[in-house]
Amino acid sequence: MKRVKIAHFPGIALTIALISLLAYLLGWSSLLAVRTISITGTSEPALIQSSIDANAPKIFIGEPLARVDVQSLRRRILLNQWVSSAAIDRNWLHGELTVAVHERVPVASYQASDGTTHYFEASGLDFLSPIKYPAIPNISLNDPSTSAKERVARLLTTLHDKSSALLENAQSFTVTTAGNGAVTLGMKVEISPTRTVTIRWGDGIDIPLKIAIYQKLVTLKENAKARLFDLSDPLSPITK
């Protein structure tokens, strides 16, 4: 009969004991528990805290950090349309649960058919937000499609880069889509206390060229009383 070697049993027993202790510390001990919840990257921490409070399973102070379902919490926070991303981290040393939020950056707003104010990003992505953005223009849209909003975003970005004065003096913006699908971007601009003009940019293509043409046309003597600058076709602009 062979003898059973037991020389390694103490080491195996110690390893099992250490694993059991670690499992206890992570899953049940208060030594590695949630002591604080830190929220960064947002102007609306109370709304993010509300999402945390509403998470299922519920997160509470004193809960072991290892038991916090960070993926579930992240999904809950992303239900806020104005949040573009969220990262959840555990600080084991300090017992801190850190929630880092990135907010969406709108380029414009518009009134939806139900009367609510919607916002959209440069990509045309539409979202609702409790945050007020006083510095962005409000657009009149008869076509709330993503492609139409992308065109508006490109126009606003180009105006910001090429002619900030036009953007600063803009009174309103419009986007209309004809029955044949043709899109026309327009804006009203106050160029003096007694004169407001309408600029039609067409479909949003070649905006830098159209800006340069407008800036030339508006200085011509024969256009001193013009109220409309139609640049839909930059090679054949129309002034009235």
Question: Alpha-carbon distance 225 to 238, whole Å?
Answer: 13
Tens-place pLDDT, residues 131-154: 999 889 999 988 888 888 999 999
Q: What is the pLDDT of residues 220-235, one digit of tens each?
A: 999 999 999 999 999 9
Name the average pLDDT for the chain.
Answer: 88
How many angstroms separate the Cα of 150 from the Cα of each of 28, 134, 145, 205, 230? Answer: 51, 20, 9, 12, 21
> Which pLDDT does position 237 carry in this prediction?
97
Q: Name the least confident of 25-29, 104-108, 117-121.
A: 25-29
Give the type of residue at 22. L
Q: Which domains does the chain have, with CATH numbers?
A: 9-103 (3.10.20.310), 108-239 (3.40.50)
CA angle 43, 45, 49 (to 5 degrees): 160
pLDDT tens digit sequence for 48-69? 999 999 998 889 899 999 889 9
pLDDT reading at 27 higher than 70: no
* Sheet containing 36-40, strands listed edge to edge, beginning at the edge strand earlier in sequence: 36-40, 96-103, 83-91
Q: Which of the pair, 88 or 179, is modelled with greater confidence? A: 88
* Half-sphere CA count of 122, side-chain side, radius 13 A: 7
* pTM reported for the whole predicted model: 0.78
Residues across the chain: 240
| SS3 of the chain: helix, strand, coil, percent, to 5 | 35, 30, 40
